[in-house]
Chains A and B, each alone.
Chain A
């Protein structure tokens, strides 16, 4: 919020050094701290309670938790004291205090240990047959994907932060800026893919808990998770599309075969999750027309609403902009403009964060045995947050297409040798972005209040009758009809595809009227 109010020239709140400091912290907290802590909790949950198994080494889990907290504290300390004004990406040769890199390394090693523990838990559970003879449940399988990606993420993280740490201590002469960027994104982007895998696992879980929906074909869903494992680590190269190295053919190869494998996987999930809901609803008898099933979904259940909205936002905003931005030439339009944060407001915020917020509502009665306080507020949160994020993202994306840079304290270029004014219409989109940001901010505040009040002051859950979020029963069995099993979902995905194609065409159109370059 502080960041937004500064960027908006009408208020221009923070002074320049504090703007970049808060921006650094914002990136780290939103992209790493909040999400990774949540995911580590999810991993331990998915490998013990879901599998009905035991925790292999609780003391190790605590140790890794302490490491992550200390790492976070170090990073926060260096950033706030002004010795690490390097932003989230800390691109060499921009240099921070060694403690900053040390903090990140500690955090990453802590997370790596949790992942190790997750593998250990699964193996022990398998041996002790706690969840039956068959393969892992889909939810845990999805988390397994996230963990494997997590290892693939943290290794490049170590590869790049360790030499950078040594360099900041003066033990190494220099770190090549392109190599840094290449490996950094092997860490930075795959980290987001971990989020996606974790988020989608929760989508499947949510579909099951709220309406009893099961993936219509588990083989397909699992293969899609496998695609993530194969595809994504190499695809991080789409961050380097307008860098001098690597070569264009390498860029095209990386952003097509490898990235599209992951994109394809996301598209498969985009069908599999809603169709799981649709088929469950149809079996309950909501078979009228295309969308009767959707109308009769549990809209009073905030966890369902969160999952539903996050699928829509992740697909329509995150997915569409992501795939277009990842095309070699189209990347020239938005690279480093404020459309980039606009894009990840649609993925990490509208997708992952919203999903995690919704899932928290199930965890409060389950883990803390407390009723959700202020239930009315809790119900409004997903709607409000989604509205705010969509507005914010639309505002930022449009500004980016008009050329407004990201990570910039003053877009009137005060103190520069020349002046430049962005098109007048940008004023309006700043207002859109600020209003969206304010709504999302209030929603987060409301969510935090709900969680804190519930956990510390909530009334205990005595039994089933106190559960506010319904756990769905399993719908009656299928009557084995042939043809389309989920026509409503099919229609929705086709609408999505049309929107995508329109926006893609626009981008290539804009590109074609620019200066020629090669």
Chain B
């Protein structure tokens, strides 16, 4: 009786059979969900990263520039086009309101993406794969991607970063 004090002996009343079964069932499912998360780190191929470095916007900008210079092959819409060597390091910068650079990647190669922001938070959202990460200033987030499809991909921002937020879109091309 929800608005009256419980009846005498409430604490020693036996739990009904069906309620007990349901609680067991729910517990087992919860444990299984936990097990999946751990197992996925061992056998699954899609896991958020362990590797992060502290950095500063200035330092990160310099590292990215150095890397882009090495692999730049052109320019598109005022943004450098970079084609890094397969299995190498890739630098991606999010600033209000652009993603840099345009990337040309090779299917099946592994790239160590270093992603950071120079100002606010940005949402790294790879479309149409729909893989999403959150990018902070001052943290060099290292995500090792292995593109498994070829085609034209887009990087959009899905963390609000001011009135130009909706125009923040970058490009990644994956070739065979």
Category for how many chain B residues contact A: 35 or more
17 residue pairs from A and B, CB less than 8 Å apart: A181-B121, A214-B1, A220-B15, A243-B136, A247-B50, A248-B47, A252-B38, A264-B23, A337-B132, A409-B166, A417-B79, A418-B170, A484-B16, A486-B18, A490-B18, A518-B46, A518-B143
A58 CB within 8 Å of chain B: no
- Residues of B close to A398: CB separation below 8 A: none
**Max chain A Cβ within 10 angstroms of own Cβ: one of B25, B30, B168:** B30
Q: What does the 1/0 interface line of A347-364 toward B look like (CB < 8 Å)?
A: 000000000000000000
Is the pair A517, B169 in contact by a Cβ cutoff of 8 Å?
A: no
User: Given the interface contacts A332-B132, A515-B145, does A420 sit within 8 Å of B52 by beta carbon?
Assistant: no
Is the pair B167, A415 in contact by a Cβ cutoff of 8 Å?
A: yes
User: What is the CB-to-nearest-CB distance from A185 to chain B, in angstroms, rounded to a whole number?
Assistant: 12
A299 CB within 8 Å of chain B: no
- Residues of B close to A201: CB separation below 8 A: 2
User: What is the CB-to-nearest-CB distance from B38 to chain A, in angstroms, rounded to a whole number?
Assistant: 6
Q: What does the 1/0 interface line of A153-165 toward B look like (CB < 8 Å)?
A: 0000000000000
- Residues of B close to A379: CB separation below 8 A: none
User: Given the interface contacts A242-B132, A329-B44, does A214 sit within 8 Å of B158 by beta carbon?
Assistant: no
**Max chain A Cβ within 10 angstroms of own Cβ: one of B46, B136, B157:** B46
User: What is the CB-to-nearest-CB distance from B144 to chain A, in angstroms, rounded to a whole number?
Assistant: 5
User: What is the CB-to-nearest-CB distance from B24 to chain A, in angstroms, rounded to a whole number?
Assistant: 11
Q: Which of A137, A323, A485, A517 contacts B1 (CB 8 A)?
A: A137
Q: What does the 1/0 interface line of A264-282 toward B look like (CB < 8 Å)?
A: 1001100110010000000
User: Given the interface contacts A418-B77, A516-B146, does A332 sit within 8 Å of B133 by beta carbon?
Assistant: yes
Q: Which of B50, B147, B158 contacts A337 (CB 8 A)?
A: B158
Which one, B58-66, B83-91, B122-130, is touching chain A? Answer: B122-130
A304 CB within 8 Å of chain B: no
User: What is the CB-to-nearest-CB distance from B53 to chain A, in angstroms, rounded to a whole number?
Assistant: 9
Chain B residue, CB-CB nearest to A402: B130
| Chain B contacts to A: CB under 8 angstroms | 1-6, 8, 10-11, 13, 15-19, 21-23, 25-27, 29-31, 33-34, 36-38, 40-41, 44-50, 52, 76-79, 98, 119-121, 123, 125-141, 143-149, 154, 156-171
User: What is the CB-to-nearest-CB distance from B7 to chain A, in angstroms, rounded to a whole number?
Assistant: 8
Q: Which of A50, A275, A511 contacts B19 (CB 8 A)?
A: A275
Task: For the complex, give the distance between the alpha carbons of A217 and B7 in Å.
Answer: 11
Q: Which of B10, B15, B46 contacts A516 (CB 8 A)?
A: B46
User: What is the CB-to-nearest-CB distance from B49 to chain A, in angstroms, rounded to a whole number?
Assistant: 6
User: Given the interface contacts A251-B48, A252-B38, A263-B30, does A403 sit within 8 Å of B165 by beta carbon?
Assistant: no
User: Given the interface contacts A275-B19, A484-B18, does A219 sit within 8 Å of B13 by beta carbon?
Assistant: yes
